[in-house]
Amino acid sequence: MALTGLDIFKLLPKTNCKKCGMPTCLAFAMALAQKRAKLEDCPDVSEEAKGKLAAAAAPPMAKVVFGTQNNQVQLGQETVMFRHEEKFYNPTVLAVTASDKLTGEDLTKRIEAINALQFERVGTKIGVKAIAIINDSGSSDAFAQAAAAAKGASDLALILVTQSPDAMAAAAAKTKDSVPLLASARPDTAQEMAKIAKENSCPLVAKAESIDALAELTEKIKSEGVEDIVLNLSTGPLSGNVPGLRDQLFNLSKIRALALKKVFRPLGYPTISFVVDGDADTQAALAISLICKYSGIVVLDTVEPYALLPMLTTVMNIFTDPQKPVQVEPKVYRIGEPNENSPLMFTTNFSLTYYTVESDVEASRVPSYILVVDTEGTSVLTAYSGDKLNEKTVADAMAKNSVGSLVKHRKLIIPGYVAVMSGKLEEATNWEIMVGPRECSMLPKYLQEVWN
């Protein structure tokens, strides 16, 4: 369990020296318990106390990293069950399978299809992060060759999936410099798989039939010298039936609760789930459920872009910090090739708001300027009701971005939802204020008919 402020106080020197910046050691202990201070701020703490406090302060869920450089991904290090308690840190990784039965051009096409599963949403690039090479052939040579081919033809991280220690050793030897995730070690192969993982400095998936067996297995793997572990509770393939999905979600939630609430270290690792049965729609539905609760990696079989996009959007939505909305840079954006006679309008720097406006302005085919006002990432109505959008913030943004040098007409189009601020804004800027439509979808008609 996490140490309380009093527990920490007992391990401190109790000199009240104020070197840490706190008035007393007790105040420092309380701040440390609330994660508002760092242990290194105390220069006089003993090495013994450092060891005890460091162990207690370790995240209840370990961080696991695989892949290298631009294709490196990390999992785990989560601290809460629900996003509103704080935030989630490391987004669920989506991976797509490639069978080692594929060779030559067929394997190349499959890898290219997986590589292409990249998208852009509200200015953020989202996409598949890993390729899972599956040892369907049962051959060590075929598995190693497919893994090597994927490493050479893709920038994505690698997951090597086989039950055979011999096949794993062959594939890991060819790809170890890309730090693949090795899946999986079972209770009967734990020692051999752990040896391969340790020799190649790779993280390892532990796979067992029950939560208790999984906890025993992680301890066994750790005793072999492997610290980076991912959990896979084997409950049979997901086939779309409700009991199968229900059990999967229950077990993932139970593992997370034991790790975070009970600080049960044998289960304090991220998880991986395989959704490889059913059509693309079925896989999408199951994967989205698993993303929500609480799979760190979801391995899929489909390469259909229409199925992957909603999964990736779910990941983006869940792992966005609820206290820090996705924002765009506050500045003037040029849509098309505007000139001194082009319309000028403003919106807020909430990404979804800006890209909605941008899309509708582009649809109008009227070259325009969009002034983005910094409202700390809130939408128009939210910003206005919170007084983050008012005549002063808009006037300041206009002055900062020198919009007077962009157009000669001195007319500013404002969102219809904040028409009430038009009078004060006109007084603050000495510009003519034009009230735009309430609904952004009406912008094309407004720019084509009202502006012109």
pLDDT of residue 241: 37
Closest CA to 156 of 165, 147, 164: 147
In a domain, 325, yes or no: no
11 and 93 in one domain?
no
In this prediction, residues 64-92 reach a mean pLDDT of 89
366 and 249 in one domain?
no
pLDDT of residue 57: 63
In a domain, 229, yes or no: yes
Averaged confidence pLDDT in the chain: 90
* Whether pLDDT at 197 is above 90: yes
Query: What distances in angstroms separate CA 55 from CA 39, 224, 262, 269, one per listed residue?
Result: 12, 20, 15, 16
Residues 243, 238: Cα–Cα separation, whole Å: 10
For the record, the structure tokens of 60 come out as: 């209840």
105 and 144 in one domain?
yes
pLDDT of residue 244: 81
In a domain, 146, yes or no: yes
Residue 235 confidence class, pLDDT cut points 50, 70, 90: low
In a domain, 326, yes or no: no
243 and 98 in one domain?
yes
pLDDT of residue 71: 86
Q: Pick from 318, 343, 366: which residue ends a domain? A: 318
Beta strand pairing call for 73-76 and 63-66? antiparallel
pLDDT of residue 132: 97
188 and 72 in one domain?
yes
In a domain, 313, yes or no: yes
In a domain, 327, yes or no: no
* Whether pLDDT at 243 is above 60: no
pLDDT exceeding 70 applies to what percent of the chain?
Answer: 96
pLDDT of residue 240: 38
425 and 358 in one domain?
yes
pLDDT of residue 329: 92
In this prediction, residues 88-114 reach a mean pLDDT of 95
Q: Name, in order, each residue with C-beta under 8 angstroms of 62's C-beta and a sequence gap of 6 or more.
A: 76, 77, 227, 228, 229, 268, 269, 270
Residue 242 confidence class, pLDDT cut points 50, 70, 90: very low
369 and 298 in one domain?
no
pLDDT of residue 131: 97
pLDDT of residue 51: 76
262 and 351 in one domain?
no
pLDDT exceeding 90 applies to what percent of the chain?
Answer: 73
CATH number of the domain that 414 lies in? 3.40.50.11600
* Whether pLDDT at 45 is above 90: no
In this prediction, residues 342-369 reach a mean pLDDT of 93
Residue 371 contacts residue 342 (beta carbons within 8 Å): no
In this prediction, residues 128-153 reach a mean pLDDT of 96
In this prediction, residues 138-151 reach a mean pLDDT of 96
pLDDT of residue 239: 36
pLDDT of residue 117: 96
353 and 204 in one domain?
no
pLDDT of residue 7: 82
Q: Pick from 293, 318, 343: which residue ends a domain? A: 318
Length of the chain: 452
CA 279 to chain centroid, in Å, comes to: 26
In the block, residue with structure tokens 């002034």: 371
pLDDT of residue 237: 39
In a domain, 148, yes or no: yes
CATH number of the domain that 22 lies in? 1.10.15.40
84 and 53 in one domain?
no
Task: Identify the domain containing residue 358 by its residue range.
Answer: 332-451
In this prediction, residues 72-82 reach a mean pLDDT of 91
Digit-coded pLDDT (tens) for 365-405: 999 999 999 999 899 999 999 999 999 999 999 999 999 99
* Whether pLDDT at 341 is above 60: yes
Q: Pick from 318, 346, 367: which residue ends a domain? A: 318
Q: Name, in order, each residue with C-beta under 8 angstroms of 286's C-beta and a sequence gap of 6 or more.
A: 238, 240, 245, 275, 278
343 and 308 in one domain?
no
Among the ranges given (43-47, 208-212, 256-260), the one the predictor scored with the smallest mean pLDDT? 43-47
Helix pair 165-175, 140-153: axis angle to 10 deg: 30
What total of structural domains would you count in the chain?
3
pLDDT of residue 9: 86
Q: Name, in order, each residue with C-beta under 8 angstroms of 226's C-beta and a sequence gap of 6 or more.
A: 194, 197, 198, 203, 204
In this prediction, residues 199-213 reach a mean pLDDT of 95
CATH number of the domain that 87 lies in? 3.20.20.20
28 and 44 in one domain?
yes
Residue 55 confidence class, pLDDT cut points 50, 70, 90: low
In this prediction, residues 107-125 reach a mean pLDDT of 91
Digit-coded pLDDT (tens) for 25-41: 999 888 877 767 777 88
Residues 67, 297: Cα–Cα separation, whole Å: 14
In a domain, 323, yes or no: no
